[in-house]
Amino acid sequence: MTDQTISRANLQAIDSAHHLHPFTDHKELRGAGARMIVRSEGPYIYDSEGAEILDGMAGLWCINVGYGREELARVAYDQMKELPFYNSFFRCTTPTPVLLAGKLAELAPDNVNQVFYGSSGSEANDTALKLVRHYWALEGKPSKRIVISRKTGYHGSSIAGASLSGMDGMHSQLYGAVPGIVHVMPPYSFELALPGESEHDFGLRAARAVEDAILEAGAENVAAFIGEPVLGAGGVKIPPASYWPEIQRICDKYDVLLMIDEVITGYGRTGEWFACKTFNIKPDTITTAKALTSGYQPLSALLVGDRIASTLIEKGGEFYHGYTYSGHPVACAVALKNLEIIEKEGLIERVREDTGPYLARALAERIGTHPIVGETRAIGLMAAIEIVRDKGDRSRFKGKHAGDKVRDLSIDNGFMVRAVGDTIIMSPPLIWTRENIDVACERLLKALDAAE
């Protein structure tokens, strides 16, 4: 790009005149304008004013191998030259989605061996919803259609994704939510545990909200439970250790399928290839996207367990579903190289054994002691910081979210985080070092001091 086209004023004018941003109040945006991110390297992004910002969000939970990877650019270039596109419809396919499917089957839990591609997490969850309902119809139980999800869960913003999500406003009457989706409480002990209730007991109680919902609807009407192993966009809510085993027990008891959304946690974030391993979950589907290509190409992979896949293949006939870009050869080539980098550089082991525990300790010791921090929590390289007015009773600041203020100050200090209400969240690239964590803590502390 030339200096002329990259000038901030020029871009800002076009942005304001023509570009509708996702999840944005455009009236508010017109005043201040958007921060223009223009280049990147390793763990850093740079804006049009020349500011260097340590990216604590890995883009949007996706740049696991960091920015500026020559190898990924090269593989995309080579694939584009050889075969930029051909589809996997109508008894055709191309080599890279095939090779990637084989690789994903190798990495996934033992009972998961099939892959269905899309371009986004939302598309993958649409596919998953269709698939579980289709499965029960093929099994002669067409009444099993209800899916149980959690409040503040996030599963995408297509109509089905938003309906599965438990975010206020996203599945409002205005859009016409997909029927048959029920939302129960999330495992969020910071706000929802009762006085004196242990983490263990709270985890069981939160899981039993799913059992209550199954009993209320009738197990004969419930197709599946969907959940992120750690609720991400809803505020990095890490469930107590008792939660997932109880969910698994309940799903097994009532013959309810388990749809695990690993769009954020997949490919290393919790220190394993999949958080299903971290939490010992036996999934029927795993939704993945984002870090599958480290965000270098749009690609999602719905990983399908043997139980559903064998029914679909043996009894299903034509599965009347797919996207033009299902199995896009360039995106799949980039994914293969990205997984190779993660493996070769030992990024997941590093998160599990070094940077993950170091981040948890650093946050607890350096950030958790701040007067306006009520709790820090972390698993692998994803973390949350609860901003409170009063550490004792955990009451929040009144008025505009304090989270927004801390986030803005942190970005101004050169550290990119997100705010969800009064919770600051982060999910850095897996290439982060201890030094990056130290710098992040310093910059965040300055923001907390200024926000106090």
Task: List the one residue from 121, 186, 203, 271 that touches ligand PLP (CB under 6 A).
Answer: 121
Residue 193 or 291: the one with the smaller Cβ distance to ligand PLP is 291
Task: Report the residue from 96, 120, 326, 436 that binds ligand PLP according to the rule CB under 6 A.
Answer: 120
Q: Which of 264, 334, 409, 420 binds ligand PLP (CB under 6 A)?
A: 264
CA dihedral (115, 121, 126, 130) positive or negative: positive
- Minimum separation from the CB atom of position 231 to ligand PLP (A): 8
By CB under 6 A, name the one of 129, 206, 233, 341 that touches ligand PLP: 233
- Give the residue among 445, 434, 336 at the shortest CA–CA distance from 106: 336
Question: How far apart are CB 289 and ligand PLP at their closest, in Å?
Answer: 5
**Rounded Cα distance, 264 and 37, in Å:** 22
Our CB check for ligand PLP shows the closer of 156 and 240 to be 156
Taking a C-beta distance cutoff of 8 angstroms, is the pair 242, 186 a contact? no
Residue 374, classed as helix, strand or coil, is: strand
Least distance CB 155 / ligand PLP (angstroms)? 5
Q: By Cβ distance, which residue is nearest to ligand PLP?
A: 121
Residue 447's closest CA among 361, 366, 364? 366
Q: Is residue 154 a contact residue for ligand PLP (CB under 6 A)?
A: yes
Q: How far is CA 221 from the centre of its chain?
A: 28
| Beta carbon nearer to ligand PLP, 283 or 374 | 283
46 has which bridge partners?
A: 39, 52
Q: What is the DSSP string of 192-251?
A: HSPTT--HHHHHHHHHHHHHHHHHHH-GGGEEEEEE-SSB-TTT-BPPPTTHHHHHHHHH
Q: Which of residues 96-115 bind ligand PLP (CB under 6 A)?
A: none
Q: Count residues contacting ligand PLP (CB under 6 A)?
A: 15
Using CB under 6 A, which residues numbered 275 to 294 contact ligand PLP? Answer: 289
- Annotate each residue in 190-229 with x if it binds ligand PLP (CB under 6 A) or - if it does not, as one string: --------------------------------------x-
C-alpha distance from residue 246 to each of 23, 213, 239, 266 (Å): 34, 14, 11, 22
Task: Return d(Cα 398, Cα 419) in angstroms, integer.
Answer: 16
122 is an interface residue for ligand PLP by CB under 6 A = yes
Where does residue 439 rank: exposed (0-12), middle (13-18), buried (19+ CB within 10 A)? middle
Q: Does 155 bind ligand PLP (CB under 6 A)?
A: yes
In the complex, the smallest distance separating the C-beta of residue 266 from ligand PLP, rounded to whole angstroms, is 9
**Residue numbers at the binding site for ligand PLP (CB under 6 A):** 120-122, 125, 154-156, 161, 228, 232-233, 261, 263-264, 289
